[in-house]
Amino acid sequence: MARRQLQIAGTERTDIPPEVDAAGEKWLELRKEARRGRERATEAKAQVIALMGAFKVPVFKHRDPDTGEVITLGVEMKPHLTAKKSGEVESEVGDEVRPSSGGDSTPGPHEGLIKQAMDAQNETNVTETEEGDVGVPDKAAPKAKAKKKRKAK
């Protein structure tokens, strides 16, 4: 069990009965031990898998001496290879890769959104350079009118 902190006279907890305090500490200690046990079991499992792979043992059977139950452990010895379509096809001209017309490609922006952005850009006199950067407009965009504040009564 965990070591308890030294009790100094006059500093005891009066809001919790000592029986509840002792039972709570016992439960917390058991919980901590169970967590450590799970961690050790996880490490042991990883070790069994590594050793079965190293010695090429695909199946390990164990008979429990207490119950007589047979437990079988199995590890797949062959590595898995998965394939995934990227949605791109090689062009017939050269090594250039372009998106296919299949459903895997992501859709582009909606045409209405592009028109709305271009209209907003024209209203505020925003220009684009040849490289596609945003140019600074000659005059600033008009400011919105400030709302009048009501006086508190």
* Domain-located, residue 89: no
* Domain-located, residue 127: no
Question: Domain residues for 50?
Answer: 18-74
pLDDT in tens, 13-39: 778 888 998 999 999 999 999 999 999
* Domain-located, residue 5: no
Sorted by sequence, the CB contacts under 8 Å of residue 87 that are 6+ apart come out as: 99, 100, 102, 104, 105
Q: Give 153's pLDDT tier (boundaries 50, 70, 90).
A: low
Does the pTM surpass 0.85? The reply is: no
* Domain-located, residue 49: yes
- In whole angstroms, give the CA distance from residue 42 to residue 45: 5
Give the lowest-confidence range in 14-23, 38-47, 71-80, 93-102. 93-102
pLDDT in tens, 106-123: 667 777 777 888 888 777
* Domain-located, residue 54: yes
- Number of domains forming the structure of the chain: 1
Q: Give 91's pLDDT tier (boundaries 50, 70, 90).
A: low
* Domain-located, residue 98: no
| Mean pLDDT in residue range 46-69 | 90
* Domain-located, residue 29: yes
